[in-house]
Amino acid sequence: QKEVEQDPGPLSVPEGAIVSLNCTYSNSAFQYFMWYRQYSRKGPELLMYTYSSGNKEDGRFTAQVDKSSKYISLFIRDSQPSDSATYLCAIDSNTGNQFYFGTGTSLTVIP
């Protein structure tokens, strides 16, 4: 079983839609949960990170963690064509040696 699983998509939505991206993980030891955005042929860019369960909001983006279900989500409100990218979740045990990326979900927002 992989440490973190992510649906690769692709996901295609119309401009203005609410997007939901999700990952599941296997080990309850993981404490930090990150979302990265990766545009084509570019390096990943950290969008948000959360610690423990709950929600964190930053503009149109909301990260949600449910540790009881080992489930993390990223919501994008009022999606824009510029949001078209691959979104990678990542998890970290904060021990310095357990850090894993999901495979990424490819998102296209159609104008």
Residues near other proteins (CB under 8 A) are 8, 32, 34, 36, 41-46, 49, 88, 90, 92, 94, 96-97, 99-104
Shortest CB 78 distance to other proteins, Å: 26
15 or 45: CB nearest other proteins: 45
Secondary structure class of 18 (helix, strand, coil): coil
**The total number of residues written for the chain in this structure:** 111
Whether 25 contacts 3, CB under 8 Å: yes
Q: Identify whether 10 is preceded by a cis peptide bond (ω within 30 of 0).
A: yes
Shortest CB 83 distance to other proteins, Å: 18
SS (H, E, C) 46-75: EEEEEECCEEEEECCEEEEEECCCCEEEEE
Shortest CB 37 distance to other proteins, Å: 11
17 or 48: CB nearest other proteins: 48
17 or 101: CB nearest other proteins: 101
